[in-house]
Amino acid sequence: MDLYRDLKRYKAQPQPSKKTELEKEFERIFTQKTSYQLLNQQLKRLHKHKSSLLRVLDRPEIPLHTNGSENDLREHVKRRKICGGTRSDLGRQCRDTFSSLKKTCRKLKISFWQYLQDRLPMSNSIPSLGELVLKKTRAATGY
């Protein structure tokens, strides 16, 4: 059994009957003892986080991994390496604000440039990003 593959399948098509089977497989993998002390420590550490690692069993709409969050940070790190960072707190705050706006627009499939052009003259023909995120979240969770 490939636990990650099976969790992805469950996420795509949740079946309550599979939940117990996946929890048992998690237990089998992360409670086993090996002849490697470091591996045993890692298995024990991961087992302590069982509830968060198997959260998808109760909430299939959440991601199985954090790659999306890591990708959000990657652009900032590359820019910092190239430019050496900002010179002031205000510069850092502006960079962080615009970076966040751009990434949110990208996730909502809205042109960042069009969003800025809408906001600068205060046309407000594009709904606020907060409203759009809330609408998308409600659609995804059914609330």
The model's pLDDT over 13-62, given as tens digits with 9 standing for 90+, comes to 998 889 999 999 999 999 999 999 999 999 999 999 998 889 889 888 88
pLDDT at position 115: 92
State which amino acid sits at residue 20: T
Q: Among 20, 107, 10, which residue's Cα sits nearest to residue 59?
A: 10
pLDDT at position 21: 92
Judge whether residue 113 has pLDDT over 90: yes
What mean pLDDT value characterizes the chain?
85
pLDDT at position 72: 65
76-80, 86-90, 93-97: segment of lowest average pLDDT: 76-80
